[in-house]
Structure formats: structure tokens, C-alpha cells
Amino acid sequence: MATEPLTEEVAGSCVDSYGSAIGMPQLCFDWFPNQIFWLVITLVVIFLVLSRVALPRIAAILAERQGTITNDLAAAEDLKAKAVEAEEAYNKALADARAEAQRIAAEARAEIQAGLDDAIAKADAEIAAKAAESEKAIAEIRAGALESIQVVAKDTAAELVTALGGEADAKAIASAVDAQSKG
């Protein structure tokens, strides 16, 4: 604080000779014009700075941020939809693959079945052929045996007739044997 007495002009009506305030400096009307003048200048400057530069700029920043956020949200929504789509496609592909696999399995099964049927038929035919051949052979053998029996029977009959002192008539014996063997 200034302690040395000031000259009367500087001290004035609001400040005493020691540089201290007389009463409230707020009520010193000598200073009002000065304060109001500089206040008006200050307010005008602040108003111009705010309305010309600061506020439009901040408004633009806020709008831009809002836009960015909206865009990002929309993009996220898009990506989400795409992800859902991709999942659906994946599921569809999976189902398709499963169906295809089933189809291929069924086809393979049918093919195998066809081959099997073919083989069975061929085997059956072969078996039938073999059986027929065997039957034929058996019939032949049977016929051969019948003939042999007739020959043996005729011979035996002729011998018997001769042994009994008869005259063996070959024709009669043959017809008799035939008649007997047919009977």
C-alpha cells in the first residue's frame, strides 16, 4: 500500500491522501464513464468474436460430430445386416452341402445296390445254367442206366430161358422186357 501522502489532484474525491479508498470505490461516480466506456468496447469485441468466429465454428463442429456419429451408426447397422446375411448364406450353404452329401450317399447306395442286383442275377443265371447242365447230365446218366438195365435184363432173361431149356427168342424177350420195364 502506498503510505506516502499523494498530491491532492491524484487523490481526488474517491481516494484519500494515503491511496486508500474513501467509502466504496464502486460508488465513485468519477470512474463510471471510464468503466462503462471500456466495458462497452469489451462487450462489442466479445460479441463480434463469438457471433462471427467462435459460435458458428463450435456449431459446425457439433453438427459434424453428430453427422459422423449418425453415419457410423448407419454403417454399423449396415455391417450388422451384412453379418446376418452372411450367417444366413453360411447356414444355407451348410444345408445345401448336407443335402448334397445325402444325395451322393443315396446315389452311391443305389449304385452299389444295382451292382449287387446285377451280380446276384448273374450268379443266379450261372447257378441255373449249372443246375440245368447237372440235370441234363443226371438225365443222361439215368437214361444210360435204364438202357443198361434193359440190356442186362434181356441178357439175363435170355440166359434164364436158355438155362430152363427153352429156345431164347431174342425178339420176344426184348418185347417182354420192354413191357415189364415200362409197367
Partner 1 sequence: MATETTAAEGSSLVFHPMDQFIVKPLFGGEIAWYTPTNVTLWLFLAIAAIFALLVLSTSKRAIVPTRMQSVAELAYGFIYKMLEDICGKEGVKYFPYVMTLFMFIVCANFLGMIPMSFTTTSHFAVTIPLALSVFLTVTVLGFVKNGAGFLGLFWVSSAPLALRPVLAIIELISYFVRPVSHSIRLAGNVMAGHAVIKVFAGFAAIAAISPVSVLAITAMYGLEVLVSFIQAYVFTILTCVYLKDALHPSH
Question: What does the binding site for partner 1 look like in residue numbers (CB under 8 A)?
Answer: 1, 9, 14-16, 19-28, 30-43, 45-47, 49-51, 53-55, 57-62, 64-65, 68
Q: Which is nearer to partner 1, 35 or 181 (CB)?
A: 35
Q: Which is nearer to partner 1, 26 or 163 (CB)?
A: 26
Cα Rg for the chain, rounded, in angstroms? 68
Query: What is the residue-wise DSSP string for 161-176?
Result: HHHTT----HHHHHHH
CB of 61 to partner 1, least distance (A): 5
SS3 category, 21? strand
Q: Which is nearer to partner 1, 5 or 144 (CB)?
A: 5
Cα–Cα distance for residue pair 34/159, rounded to 1 Å: 180
Q: How far is CA 51 from CA 36, 46, 104, in A?
A: 22, 8, 77
CB of 38 to partner 1, least distance (A): 5
CB of 58 to partner 1, least distance (A): 5
